[in-house]
């Protein structure tokens, strides 16, 4: 079972999650989600536990517990829904800036 852990302190490591979850059973994988640009934790992660009963026990046992100063949210991970990925591109007509094209034109002093 894949488990979502939210409200993580930015200091929480994958090793911290392993220590918290392995008390309840076998941990197959751990992933703290990090920002691609900064490398800093985004404050959530996932733990995969092969045995459903152990995973459910971990969810109940850790829900609301404190880890590195933060009360964590622990739930069964939901599959990512389609349509949530992608950029903010908008469809529609061409961009128009008004009669003058939208740019700042002309002389004058700028301060």
What is the per-residue pLDDT across 77-109, written as a single tens digit (0 to 9) for each? 998 886 555 555 555 555 555 555 555 555 666
| Mean pLDDT confidence for 28-48 | 96
The pLDDT value recorded for residue 81 is 80
In a domain, 37, yes or no: yes
Question: What is the reported pTM?
Answer: 0.71
Q: Is residue 85 a part of any domain in this protein?
A: no
d(CA 3, CA 76): 5
What is the pLDDT, as a whole number, of residue 105?
58
Q: Does residue 111 form part of some domain?
A: no
Q: Is residue 108 part of a domain?
A: no
In total, how many domains does the chain have? Answer: 1
Question: Does residue 82 lie in a domain region?
Answer: no
Assess if residue 90 is contained within a domain: no
pLDDT at 110 over 90: no
Token pair belonging to 103: 């740019």
CATH code of the domain containing 43: 3.30.70.330
Beta pairing, strands 73-76 & 2-6: antiparallel
Whether 46 is in a domain gets the answer yes
- Print the domain residue range for 34: 2-71
């Amino acid at each position: 079972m894949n488990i979502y852990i939210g409200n993580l302190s930015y200091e929480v490591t994958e090793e911290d999650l392993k220590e918290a979850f392995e008390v309840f059973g076998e941990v197959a994988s751990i992933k703290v989600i990090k920002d691609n640009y900064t490398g800093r934790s985004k404050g959530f992660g996932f733990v995969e536990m092969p045995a459903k009963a152990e995973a459910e026990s971990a969810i109940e046992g850790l829900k609301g517990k404190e880890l590195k100063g933060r009360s964590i949210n622990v739930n069964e991970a939901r599959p990512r829904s389609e349509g949530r990925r992608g950029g903010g591109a908008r469809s529609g007509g061409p961009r128009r800036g008004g009669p003058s094209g939208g740019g700042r034109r002309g002389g004058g002093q700028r301060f």
